[in-house]
Amino acid sequence: MNGQHYVDGKWVDGNPTVMRVWDHAIWMGAAIFDGARCFEGVTPDIELHCQRTLRSAEALGLKSPLSAGEIEDLLREGIGKFPKGTPLYLRPFMYSEEGWMEPFPESTKLIVSVVEYAMPDPTKPCSVSFSKWRRPSPETAPTNAKAVSLYAQAGRAALDARSRGFNEAIMLDPMGNVAEFSAANLWIAKDGAAHTPVPNGTFLNGITRQRTIQLLRKAGVEVYERTLTPKDILEADEIFSSGNYGKLMPITQVEDRPLQPGPIFRRARELYWEFAHGG
């Protein structure tokens, strides 16, 4: 791993060991993270990711030792340790060292990571399948946070999809409607308009998702946030994802049906890149 990590007031490289066997987060799961990107020399919406980091921490009973602005400053300091243009994954991470069932807020530890991580190739085929594993409701899990504990379920969905020969999973919500992919928000295009599941508390209303909605609407593209069913997905003209890892990425197969990247996806990606570079 080519990475720089801010731990206990100093930068260390590689993949350092940071947690102890009896730390509260290890056995009770009180840990959150956020992810931002630096690519082609730009860091779109980095301040929003830092602000969400604090909201996620608060949702789990953690207390950030730094403000969102201070976390952003550390991320930018870490970015400066790499050659300009290096594709980077930026991750503030917080966890509890002490507690019983609940974490002790004052024991919250913060680690800021900046790691070299290539952007995925949007021309590479990506197949998706519906998963039997569903997103939880807000009464049953901390769905209002980017909580580490949520990713066990997402991991099961991804593993199930890959065991059946697909690249990614589509997860439903508890009611059987479409929620998202295992680690990104989901979009379809139908009859020249963009559609994406309306946030209902079962998945994060992603920062890249919100930005894409704004950009498409400003460009005159109709965007509908609504309840989507599996039938809507199977009958879509296009399917694509939005998320921090790859920003906007096309889907080229849903179940046994082939797809092609279409004009709505291409426009969304074009608009996002223009925004990211200051347009």
**Tell me: the pLDDT tens digits for 107-159?**
999 999 999 999 999 999 999 999 999 999 999 999 999 999 999 999 999 99
User: What are the extents of the domains in the chain?
Assistant: 3-116, 127-276
CA distance 13 to 272: 31
Chain-wide mean pLDDT for the chain?
97
Q: How far apart are CA 263 and CA 44, in angstroms?
A: 23
What are 22-75's pLDDT values in tens digits? 999 999 999 999 999 999 999 999 999 999 999 999 999 999 999 999 999 999
CATH number corresponding to 3-116: 3.30.470.10
**Half-sphere exposure (Cβ direction) of 179: Cα atoms closer than 13 Å:** 27
Q: What distance separates the 2 farthest-apart alpha carbons in the chain?
A: 55
Residues of the chain with pLDDT > 70, as a percent, come to 100
* pLDDT interval class at 279 (50, 70, 90): low
**CATH numeric code, 127-276:** 3.20.10.10
Question: Does the fold of domain 127-276 match that of domain 3-116?
Answer: no
Burial 99-113 (b: 16+ CB within 10 A, else e): beeebbbebbbbbbb
pLDDT band at 175 (very low <50, low <70, confident <90, very high): very high
pTM comes to 0.95
Q: Residue 152's pLDDT is what?
A: 96
How are beta strands 127-130 and 88-96 bridged, if at all? unpaired
